[in-house]
Structure 1
C-alpha cells in the first residue's frame, strides 16, 4: 500500500492514495488553515469507521443477513498535551434491515472489533476503543 501527500501552502495538503484517489486535508484557522478539508486526525477516525463499517456490512452480507443500511458514529477524546494522541475512541453502529436480527449485528460488530478491522485494532494499541450497536 502506498500514498503521497503534497503541501499546498499554509496548512493545506493534497493526499493521493495508491489507488489514485485524491483529497485535500487542511488545518484550522488558528494554525493557518482555511478549512478546505478534513483535519488529518479526523481522517484517522473516518478511516477507522469506514474500515469497521465495511467489515460489518461484509460479514452480514456473507451470512445472507438482510442488511439495508449501516451508519457509524464516532466519538473520540485526545490527550491535552502533545502529542495529542487519541486516548478514547467509541464507534456506535446503527444497522437496519428487514428481518435482520440483533444477534447477527452484535456478532458482526464483535468480529470486526476483535478480528478484522485493522484500523481499530491498531488504534486500540494506543487508545481505549469501544463499540456499541443498535438495530434500527
Structure 2
C-alpha cells in the first residue's frame, strides 16, 4: 500500500492514495479541511461500518441505514494522541435482530476492522449500538 501527501499552502495538504483518490487535510485545527486526527477517527468509523454492513447483509437482515457516531478523547500533552474512542452504531431497518447487530459490532471490533484494532493497542476503544425500526 502506498500514498503521497503534498503541501498546498499554509498547513493544508492533499493526500493521494495508491488507488488515485484524493483528500485534503488541514493541520491548522481543521480550519480549511479535516485535520489528520479527524481523518484517523473517520477512518476507524468507515472501516468498522464496512464490516457491520457486510456482516448484517450476509445475515440477511433488512438494514436500511447504518450510521456510526464517533467520540474520542485526546491526551492533554504533546503528542495529543487519542486516549479513548467510542464507536456508537445506529442501525435502522425492519425487524433487525439486536443479536445480529451485537455480533456484527463484536466481530468488527475483535476480528475485522484493522483500523480500530490497530488503534486498540494504545487507545481504549469501545463500541456500542442501538437498533431503530424503519
- The corresponding residue for 1:79 is 75
Please give the alpha-carbon distance, in whole angstroms, between the structure 1 residues aligned to 2:90 and 2:112.
Answer: 19
Rounded to whole Å, the distance in 2 between the matches of 1:56 and 1:113 is 10
Q: Secondary structure at 1:97's aligned position in 2?
A: strand
Q: CA offsets, 1:23-80, max 9 Å, x none? A: 1101336xxx7x2210000000000000001100000011111111000000000101
Q: Residues 1-136 of structure 1: matches in 2 within 5 Å?
A: 1-28=1-28, 35-136=31-132
Q: Which runs of 5+ in 2 are unaligned?
A: none
Structure 1 stretches of at least 4 aligned residues deviating more than 2 Å after TM superposition: none
Counterpart Cα distance in 2 of 1:17 and 1:67: 30
* Structure 1 residue 84 displacement after superposition: 0.9
Tell me how large the CA RMSD over aligned residues is: 1.1
Instruction: Count the aligned residue pairs.
Output: 132
Kept in 1: contact 2:12–2:28 (CA 8 A): no
The structure whose residues are more often strand, as a share, is: 2
Measured in 1, the distance between the counterparts of 2:11 and 2:28 equals 8
CA distance in 2, matches of 1:21, 1:37: 16
